[in-house]
Amino acid sequence: MCGLIGALLPEPSLARERIAGALATIAHRGPDHTGWWCSPDRRMMLGHVRLSIIGLDNGNQPLASSDSQVHCVVNGELYGYRAIRSVLQAENRRFATDSDSEIALQLYQKLGGEFVHQLRGEFALVIADQRRRCLIAVRDRFGIKPLFYTVRDGDVLVASEIKALLALGAPPRWDAAAFFAECHSVRTADRTLFAGIHAVPPGCVLVARDGRVEIRPYWDTDYPTREALAADGRSEADIVAGFREVLDDAVTERLVADVEVASYLSGGIDSSAVLGLAQRKLSRPIRAFTLTFEDELYNEERLAQQTAGWLGAKFVPVPVSQHDIAEAFPDALWHAETLVFNGHGIAKYLLSRAVRDAGIKVVFTGEGADEILGGYPPFRRDLLLHNTENQPPEEVAKLLDELDATNQASRGLLTADGEAAPGLAAFGARLGWTPSAIETLSTLAVKMYPFFSDGCRAAGLRADPYTELLDTLDVPGRLTGRDPLNQALYIWTRTLLPNFILTVLGDRMEMAHSVEGRVPFLDHHVAEYAAQIPVHHKIRGLREKHVLREAVRDCVLPDVYDRQKHPFMSPPARDTGDALSVFCQDVLRSRSVEDQPFFDPRRVRGLMDQVAAMEPAGRAAFEGVVLRIVSTCILQQRFGLAA
């Protein structure tokens, strides 16, 4: 896992000092080596910071072809590289390193643009082809690894993080429409909060030539039609066995490393399953790191410790307090480059710091299972509302009430709490229904409306973020005729998954401390298999991820097997003396409130008084509003963003 930058320029305008400065901003992604290459005319550049995991002694980058006409930098892991390497060597292709990254360069030379279909893993890479005078950037299929670009005065710049593009000369400015969409949790996967800076969408290739950029998709989730799923004749035993096989293979591939591989572990089935499958393949105990909180509603220490002991792993608790979260908040936001609505991302930042301090570079994570198998509460609600054939209405109503009652920790975030936002009719018009996740998260946005300046709110509503999202999706090709649950999963993977889950709970918090997260559930072989599973094998009543539970039943504790999904959240501020509450008050009474362009400072200061007067339950549900505004102020302060 590493960090990269690249440039294609009409004139040799990048000074060495600026290249070095950009690499310095992402040095946390690769503390083991820094290198860069410039073409003889200085119109092409690649830079790389390395976290050495495979080929420790000879895997430094940029990589070069034997004729020095093609160069490459890679961030991430490419699985199955040994078999590919053997085939290429049999064709008399010579490798200069032992790293997995070099197969990307060799495959490109052999196959041209088709090489992307041979890549498996979590990766972002950039190839500079001097013969064709083009820059080619590729992002993995789900956006596990970040990759950003900007085009300015004919310069095409790419980087692993936005801060590196700013260091290369991109101006720091807010994108007001993207900001408003982010507040509604429907920012499209190609947009960032920074004007003029875009993300390469997941599963896409960027081709830059002559100051122009073309985005070409090479992969997307393909759900069968509802009729095709209904005709699926496989037995449950066959489906479960097939899922176990692809998941086990994904875990096995991710054990390949020249350094120790550890694991994150919660009390849920996702991380427990990954740890269980991995531990069976090793003779040594895997170190399992678990966040612990003082508030028992959010603390999963007991189940995680029992799981680790039962599997033969080594349990390593990482206590995190509200004071710890408050203290780390600004630095974590600088790494995230986006808004947060809970302290769980900052807690993951602290978890990764503890992992690094323990001498670990690589960890398994359980992210992605909810996205491919319908784990979150809104997905269960969708199934109850839209797959109710032969189910009495009173039974559906009872299950919906139970779903709401058993997810108090995520009220207002993953279970509905309040008025829905205007504009949701766009989903009814285009899809015939509105996914529960979109509707639920819109209630958090509505709570923010009173604190926007009048002009910002009016402009944001005119931008119509819901219609904008739907306009970016291939509704006829990817959504029409699909089961509502699969439609909801698809939309989530195009918005919240790359923009939040894999950012604030994934790569950016891990790589802030030079830790590589490996995500077996988002192996594309696993995801493609899951897409073909009939929905009643994904969710049954309130029992989410049914096929996963059956597939790993021998690898998890009975209590974990039976446990309903509880989304990972950190405790909210409970009173005005809570360290996190004090931190928020300090930020919202600081100069940065005056500088940011979205919220009315007078109304924001009244917010703190309003929250202080709330009952604890109401204060917890309102925390998402407070933390999003706090995030805005911190990003304003740390990046000096212009309106």
Active centre residues (catalytic):
2
* Closest by Cα among 263, 300, 303, 296 to 279: 263
**3-class secondary structure, 452:** strand
Q: Which uninterrupted H or E stretch holds 199?
A: strand 197-199
Tell me the residue length of the chain: 643
User: Three-state SS across 148-193?
Assistant: EEEEECCEEEEECCHHHHHHCCCCCEECHHHHHHHHCCCCCCCECC
User: Which token pair is 153?
Assistant: 């005065």
Identify the three-state secondary structure at position 448: helix
Radius of gyration of the chain (CA): 24
Please tell me what DSSP assigns to residue 501.
I
- Both tokens of residue 640? 């000096």
Residues 285, 536 contacting (CB under 8 angstroms): no
Q: How many helices (H) and strands (E) would you count in the chain?
A: 31, 19
Give, for 500, the enclosing helix (H) or strand (E).
none
- Quick check: 137 and 8 in contact, CB under 8 A? no
At residue 596's C-alpha, the angle toward residues 608 and 613, to 5°, is 5
- Alpha-carbon distance 606 to 588, whole Å? 10
End-to-end CA gap in the chain:
34
Transcribe 521-534 into DSSP letters: GG-HHHHHHHHTS-
CA distances (Å), 639 to each of 145, 304, 635, in order? Answer: 22, 38, 6
